[in-house]
Amino acid sequence: MKRALLFLLLVWTGCAAAQPYPAKPVRLIVPFPVGGIADIYGRLLGARLTELWGQPVVVENRTGAGGNIGADLVAKSAPDGYTIGIGSIGTHAVNVTLFSKLPYDAVRDFAPIALLLEAEGMLVVHPSVPAQNISELILLAKSRPLTFASAGMGTASHLAGELFKSMAKVDMTHVPYKGNVPAITDLLAGQTTLLFATMPTVLPHTKTGKLRGIATIGAARSAAAPELPTVIESGLAGFDVSNWIALFAPAGTAPEVVRRWNTETARFMQSPEMQVRLVNEGARFTVMTPEQFGGFVKAEIAKWAPVVKASGARVD
């Protein structure tokens, strides 16, 4: 009898282990608030995979410390494929230099999956700000105190502001928030002067006149706002900032799970409806293998390290 029970237990265990992935709900950790670009696209992808896989992909927003809290949760989760995280230029590139001590290693503690998107950025101001272009904004900053909001220490919006200060030789007070949404909320209320934001989060407000776009912050004009010049065109040669968000698993996650997420992400982001959405919102998707994306992350860490150091920003 005992042998029979042991045999049945082994058979049941073997069948459970053989179940195709995913065999239960998956957590998708977003280290930023609800309503931001990482949250929006994470939920879009999660809904698609839920439909495709027949298992819930549940988004959990774990915010704080410039995204470090959520990223650390992913890094310390079991590498079983049931905890996946969205990371960003902040959590996996800028913060490496910005923070004197991170609770995780941005390279060693993660299995890179795929670049989800690169979001073009826009410099926006509250309508009460008299500056209509970059030149006028620089003159304004030299004549009176200005504040620039950001989505948090180490985010692309923070580094864009620091880079602008350095290149334009102006001084502005940095006001960090816990994500793009609260930063935009206070800018709409006139509590701050300006914001370097991801385009999908501010385009609706510029179209209604609640915010005014001054320039785009990438290397070339955006198809989503072709009337706006780049900061480079406006006189600050070399100013080029783009935000990105991506998918990561804990280090040690099975390669087949990583590949499946990579394949399904690429299929979803290249679908006709998503391609139209990306163009309209000022974002783009680039196909990368997990290995190529891992190389991209390392290159981004090297790219932003000198910018962070030159800004003098440091979090102990």
Q: What percent of the chain has pLDDT over 70?
A: 94
Residue 16 has pLDDT above 60, yes or no: no
What's the CA gap between 156 and 267, in Å, rounded?
A: 27
Q: What is the pLDDT of residue 314?
A: 79
Residue 238 has pLDDT above 70, yes or no: yes
Q: What is the mean pLDDT of the chain?
A: 91
What integer is the mean pLDDT of 155-180? 90
What contacts 113, CB < 8 A, 6 or more positions away? 84, 246, 247, 248, 249, 258, 261, 262, 265, 290, 293
Q: What is the pLDDT of residue 171?
A: 92
What's the CA gap between 66 and 156, in Å, rounded?
A: 11
Q: 4: pLDDT confidence band, cut at 50, 70 and 90? A: low
Q: 12: pLDDT confidence band, cut at 50, 70 and 90? A: very low
What integer is the mean pLDDT of 247-274? 98
pLDDT in tens, 293-314: 999 999 999 988 988 887 777 7
For residue 222, CA distances in Å to 79, 159, 205, 283 come to 39, 20, 17, 9
Q: Which of 152, 208, 196, 140 is nearest to 32 (CA)?
A: 152
Give domain 26-118+242-311's CATH number out of 3.40.190.150, 2.30.30.230, 3.40.50.970, 1.10.3720.10: 3.40.190.150
Two structure tokens written together for 227 = 């009337």
What integer is the mean pLDDT of 158-183? 91
The residue ranking higher by pLDDT, 316 or 235, is 235
DSSP 189-248: TTSSSEEEEEHHHHHHHHHTTSSEEEEE-SSS--TTSTTSPBTTTTT-TT----EEEEEE
Residues of the chain with CATH 3.40.190.10: 121-216
What's the CA gap between 18 and 287, in Å, rounded?
A: 30
What integer is the mean pLDDT of 157-168? 91
Q: What is the pLDDT of residue 13?
A: 46
**Which residues is 283 bridged to in the sheet?**
119
Looking at 19-23, 151-155, 200-204, which range is the least confident one?
Answer: 151-155
How far the first Cα of the chain sits from its last, in Å, is 62
What's the CA gap between 32 and 43, in Å, rounded?
A: 12
For residue 107, CA distances in Å to 74, 93, 152, 296 come to 13, 9, 21, 11
**Which residues is 119 bridged to in the sheet?**
243, 283
Residue 269 has pLDDT above 70, yes or no: yes
Q: 11: pLDDT confidence band, cut at 50, 70 and 90? A: very low
Two structure tokens written together for 240 = 């080029």
Three-class DSSP category at 304: helix
Residues of the chain with CATH 3.40.190.150: 26-118+242-311
Q: 3: pLDDT confidence band, cut at 50, 70 and 90? A: low
Q: Residue 242: how many CB atoms within 10 A of its CB?
A: 17
Per-residue DSSP letter, 22: P
Residue 288 has pLDDT above 60, yes or no: yes
Q: What percent of the chain has pLDDT over 90?
A: 74
Q: 181: pLDDT confidence band, cut at 50, 70 and 90? A: confident
Give domain 121-216's CATH number out of 3.40.50.300, 1.10.3720.10, 3.40.190.10, 1.10.510.10: 3.40.190.10
What integer is the mean pLDDT of 74-95? 96
